[in-house]
Structure 1
Amino acid sequence: PARGWRDGKAASFDAYDAKAEALALLAASGAPVDNLQVMGEAGDAWHPGQSGTLRLGPKTVLASFGMLHPLVLKAFDLDGAVAAVEVYLDAIPPKRASGFARPAYTPPALQAVRRDFAFLVPAALATDALVRAVKGADKAAIVSARVFDVFTGQGVEDGHKSVAVEIVLQPTAKSFTDEELKAVADKVVAAAAKQGASLRV
């Protein structure tokens, strides 16, 4: 089910949110997200001007993202705009002797920890930029980050939006201590601040 904080007017998800989700899924799948390019429109199933592809070079498409075409929505009896992502796992480069190698999946032995943050950000800031900054705050601990709510309205300054981000931390050798979790949270807030975001309290 969708998550949301309803202190104000909820904003609809858009192509930028879909792009952020696509990048998060590709990163979790071992793709070299720092080397990807956003190119072109995704195809006939997508809304014109509101979609794109993430590519490794000009020909290798790893994901499509954006808003679905109105005809697709009608065919499935869907009401309202729908943001979607399609990831092509087979296109992610396999392991090779040098350069990028997709790591083999090993199920984690310890339970992941989830933490939510609500940031006040300039309205012009793309949510995917915030997500990438947050995820990069502690690459050893944070395995994923995603936006689960965006809204404006009561309690939000003009020219700004409230963006709720969930991060997932995966312990390896032992569970996180309270001090370690606080240290990660401090890094997340500091990384977001570099994007012009401040923690809502």
Structure 2
Amino acid sequence: MAVNRACHLIEELGCGTVLNGMLDYYPTKEEVQKVTVNPQRINKLLGVNVPMDQFINILERLEFKCNLISSDKLELEVPSFRLDITEDADILEEIARIYGYENIPAADLEGNATAGVKTENQKFMDKVKENSIACGLNEILTYSFVSPRGVDKINLPENDEKRNFVKIMNPLGEETSVMRTTLIPNMLNVLATNVSHKVEEAYAFECGNTFTPQNGLPVETKKYCIGMYGKEVDFFSLKGIVETILNNVGLKGYEIESETTNSTFHPGRCAKVVYNNICVGTFGELHPDVIENYNLGQRVYVAEINADLVFENITLVKRYSALPKYPSTSRDIALIVKDEVFVKQIEDIIKANASDILESYKLFDVYKGSQIEEGHKSIAYSITYRSAEKTLTDEDVAKVHDKILSELSEKLNANLRSN
């Protein structure tokens, strides 16, 4: 009918002359597609009982040729125009469509169903990423397949365990021949690319797995890495970000200690995060040799933290503290100490001697200049006192405050700055 109509239009519009007869050009005739189905199984999957007569009638109306062998076997010859029919699931859809979806009763799922929610570890990593972004960092993603030369460029000792790689059997090349044991080389490659493109500052982080070989599948450890550079970036910028993220994800009671043995970082400008005498991570300014190896040309600050260890030790329980009944009072102190004195030493003395009226303390200034003696620095703290039982008098605060100053002077030779 369609061919005849086309010929009629051609002649009517004067586009050509229609000749007698018809030529059917069909060089590769399609074979007849046959499908065997089980009507009982289809009824069970649909949750209804379509009678066999109705079952066959539906298919014949759709121009299938049916040959019923038994109650659980029906052979079908598929119409030539139904190229989408290849298996019994396609027949099930046709039966459901014609029988009527509204006629198929709703039923509850059987068995134990689980909600499609994230695991606690996944939620933890989401929180790490959210806090990183809130601190102004940008997330990057790099390959797990790396070059073994990366650990040379970050100055790892020959006996370092991070040189024990999982090797790829059929690598595309030497640059992707092993699986990473640290995220730092990848981070520095990204920062080096930014430097080469004249990007004046960069703030990046990555959450990814590292791999350690063992019998069978390698051990996968989730790591968190920060990399940053720029005019406004220094060691304390990085330290503040690390502490903010750790505090916000729920790690309590950790200590920041000096690290002098890590050859990737600048000696004297490196620290480690310690929890229960376990090193959770390391951060600081890169060693000048590492900076040269990556052609960075400026100070770069990097942190790498074991996210799995952090997750294992976080405290998710939040405790309510009532609003204070009595006012607080604060004292500011500016101390002159030697350059080798660490802030942690000062804070340990403050905590040890402030009794129960110490509410908080905050470092707000570190200064070195012409007014400070050579080899010394000025460190300023704001200390807040409050009692849960009464309003503190000047005498109450002075007694504790003077004890703190006395201990600082005795143990650290710290003197109050006069100008």
The two structures have a TM-score, normalised by structure 1, of 0.58
2:162 aligns with: none
- In structure 2, the partner of 1:170 is 386
Output the amino acid matched with 1:106: S
1:200 corresponding residue in structure 2: 417
- Give the whole-Å Cα distance in 2 for the aligned partners of 1:147 and 1:37: 14
Per-residue displacement from partner, 1:33-62 (whole Å, max 9, x unpaired)?
6xx68598xxxxxx8453422222437x4x
Using the alignment, how far apart are the partners of 2:379 and 2:256 within structure 1? 25
Q: Structure 1 unaligned runs (5+)?
A: 1-11, 41-46, 70-79, 95-101
Give the CA deviation at 1:195. Answer: 1.6
Report 1 or 2 for greater relative contact order, CA contacts < 8 Å, sequence distance ≥ 6: 1
Alignment correspondent of 1:5: none
Q: Assess if the C-alpha contact under 8 Å between 1:131 and 1:147 holds in 2.
A: no
Contact kept, 8 Å, 1:135 with 1:143, in 2: the verdict is no
Equivalent residue, structure 2, for 1:106: 321
- RMSD of aligned alpha carbons: 4.3
Percentage of pairs with the same residue: 21
Separation of aligned partners in 1, 2:360 and 2:389: 19
The one-letter amino acid of 1:200's match is: R
Amino acid at match of 1:56: N
CA distance in 2, matches of 1:105, 1:68: 38
Q: Say whether 1:148 aligns with 2:327.
A: no
More strand by share: 1
Change (3 A) 1:83 1:168: farther
Deviation at 1:187, TM superposition (A): 1.4
Give TM-score, length-normalised by structure 2.
Answer: 0.31
Equivalent position to 1:189, from 402, 405, 410: 405
1:124 aligns with 2:124: no
Kindly indicate which of the two structures has a greater share of residues assigned to helix: 2
Partners of 1:53 and 1:65 within 8 A in 2: yes
Aligned partners of 1:39, 1:152: CA distance in 2, in Å? Answer: 20
Correspondence list, 1:14-93, <5 A: 14=235, 18=239, 22=243, 31-32=252-253, 38=257, 48=265, 50-58=270-278, 61=280, 66-67=283-284, 91-92=313-314
For 1:140, what is the secondary structure of its paired residue?
helix
Residue segments in structure 2 that go unaligned for 5+ positions in a row: 1-232, 287-298
Structure 2 counterpart of 1:43: none
Give the distance between the partners of 1:199 and 1:132, measured in 2 at CA.
Answer: 18
One-letter identity of the residue aligned with 1:58: I
